[in-house]
Structure 1
């Protein structure tokens, strides 16, 4: 008997319980509100009123994919649920999909058309459809004879762009012929993606060899590094940062001829601190990692979190010391909007 594909309603307590119990039996156990609330669609495979497979879509990311192959041809139910998810994504005009999964499932996803971007002993990241990573690189700006030049890269959330970020970019620009500043594209911050991208561009406009671009799905994204946006266990952060670093090292660096990745010292964020440690382990010798001391005001390191806290309280007397004039002007102009986002639940103490 072929299992039937049905849509599961996770706001229905009976269906939610059935779904969680099934996934728990497959050793998938993270059902935090932070994860589940992002789900746009959940499908189930039903056979004789029993759930035998499931998978979800959150934006363009496949999540919670699991099947029971008992009394079924191996791989058949997996193929059925993934194919159904891909079909529903295409119907929603979502033609590029990502999945972060346990390493043992990578081959199964590859059998249904996904391409592996990176893997570790614990996990793997794969993609399907277009635009893919080759298309992402193709649309980035380049310079002549780039393969023989000093090419640097910085990845930042810039929530918002501070004097600390500016110092990091300035030092990288002085050391390189070209610097890519990749701005995290996932929209999970107080400052929206378009706002952060524009503030970084404005704040570095005088640096002729700097190119500010989106990090897309490949650099600290919800697919490659979901723990960046959540309060996650150290083991999860290390597993995900390893994959993120390997995508950078093995996929992006060779295509763009990147020679150096620049990061700032990280005294305040546990997640970013672990990320820097993983980059130091994963990038050299293919890509050098240069750590720049964090810019300070007096003895205090400049932190975007401090700026967000000032926005929350409306105490902006030190703002001009913490951020470039372009960022300060944006904050003062849009203070009410930013404070409303905080009041509506946007967290300000993360990254």
Structure 2
């Protein structure tokens, strides 16, 4: 009789068996980056105590799912495995799940209640449970019926700078209505709540702009797992194309968004790749508008960068970047400088965009 149980990858023997099983199933990337986010892992064992299936949980995402067809129905094992993972998450109060997988496994997940959000040649992302993407859209601010030209801007805003403000202003000037989505994940120096507040306060005078979080649907840590790719160097390309496809299909089309505004990025190759993916995936339905980065002083070669602001926070030289910040951001940083510096000392990264 087959049994299913939680296993612990901190045990070297268990980890080795797990990796060997997954390798036989075609999954072969076990980098520290991939494994660090795993919260729990389960395995199915046959009556000879051989591993015949496994699956892991990372937050609300299912990862490293694989089952063997030897000795039993692959479908039966798969269903049992997914059910165990769902029950485990439900016990933690999590009823909204995501999974990334290869295209050929789409119907297996659809059969157990998942819905496809976006699909590329490399893979797809599915979700199950509530709140889902439909409820996310329903909770967004409503655009006026008279709005014909609708644009979107997606910001991390860590923190919100005059450069971000310039990008939003540009979109607001050229469109009837603008959605500004703030990336929703607390992996930045400024929390999601803080970043959302600073963007709202920094754009409050723009009547045709509405600010909301991007939920789990935009440029989030729900990244395409590298273990599906033969060449990890292609990971960023595949991930960005999947993110762009999700935005186009699940956000832009239902909301009537016809353009997306992005800033040029001379300092980040990853952001450049993302902008390129947007330009390849979104048109012709959604036009990508590249806006040159704002500089400070105007006309200089010094682009306004949130990373520069974060470094100034670390060194306590916030006055050096005061001209890069809208008043609400400058006031917040001045008031909370000690706390922000403490976060950095505790290990909060300040690199990135």
TM-score (norm 2): 0.93
Shift in CA distance, 18/121, structure 1 to aligned 2, threshold 3 Å: same
Partner of 2:282: 283
Maintained 8 Å contact 2:68/2:74 = no
Shift in CA distance, 159/179, structure 1 to aligned 2, threshold 3 Å: same
For each residue in 1:111-162, what CA deviation from the matched residue of structure 2 results, as whole angstroms up to 9, or x when unmatched? Answer: 211111111111101000111111111111113315x511110111111111
Partner of 2:165: 166
Partner of 1:327: 329
Post-superposition offset of 1:171: 0.6
Is it true that 1:339 corresponds to 2:341 in the alignment?
A: yes
Post-superposition offset of 1:234: 4.3
Partner of 2:102: 102
Maintained 8 Å contact 1:125/1:224 = no
DSSP 3-state at the match of 2:330: helix
Shift in CA distance, 129/203, structure 1 to aligned 2, threshold 3 Å: same
Uncovered stretches (5+) of structure 1, i.e. residues with no partner: none
Post-superposition offset of 1:16: 2.4
Partner of 2:84: 84
Name the Cα RMSD after superposition: 1.8
Aligned length: 345
DSSP 3-state at the match of 1:272: helix
CA distance in 2, matches of 1:268, 1:234: 19
Q: How does 1:35-184 map to 2 (within 5 A)?
A: 35-47=34-46, 48-145=48-145, 149-184=148-183
Partner of 2:316: 314
DSSP 3-state at the match of 1:57: strand
Partner of 2:243: 244
Runs of 4+ in 1 over 4 A off after TM superposition: 224-227
Post-superposition offset of 1:9: 1.6
Partner of 1:4: 3
For each residue in 1:202-234, what CA deviation from the matched residue of structure 2 results, as whole angstroms up to 9, or x when unmatched? Answer: 11111111111010111112225679xxxx954
CA distance in 1, matches of 2:233, 2:177: 34
Maintained 8 Å contact 1:319/1:328 = no
Shift in CA distance, 234/264, structure 1 to aligned 2, threshold 3 Å: farther
Post-superposition offset of 1:300: 1.1
Shift in CA distance, 183/161, structure 1 to aligned 2, threshold 3 Å: same
> Which segment drifts farther, 325-334 or 114-123?
325-334
CA distance in 2, matches of 1:233, 1:161: 32
Partner of 2:23: 24
Q: How does 1:198-277 map to 2 (within 5 A)?
A: 198-224=197-223, 233-277=232-276
Post-superposition offset of 1:30: 2.9
DSSP 3-state at the match of 1:296: coil
Partner of 1:349: 351
Post-superposition offset of 1:305: 1.2
Shift in CA distance, 91/195, structure 1 to aligned 2, threshold 3 Å: same
> Which segment drifts farther, 49-58 or 164-173?
49-58
CA distance in 1, matches of 2:166, 2:339: 28
Post-superposition offset of 1:299: 1.2
Maintained 8 Å contact 2:118/2:246 = yes
CA distance in 2, matches of 1:16, 1:336: 42
Shift in CA distance, 54/226, structure 1 to aligned 2, threshold 3 Å: closer
Post-superposition offset of 1:174: 0.7
Maintained 8 Å contact 1:218/1:224 = no
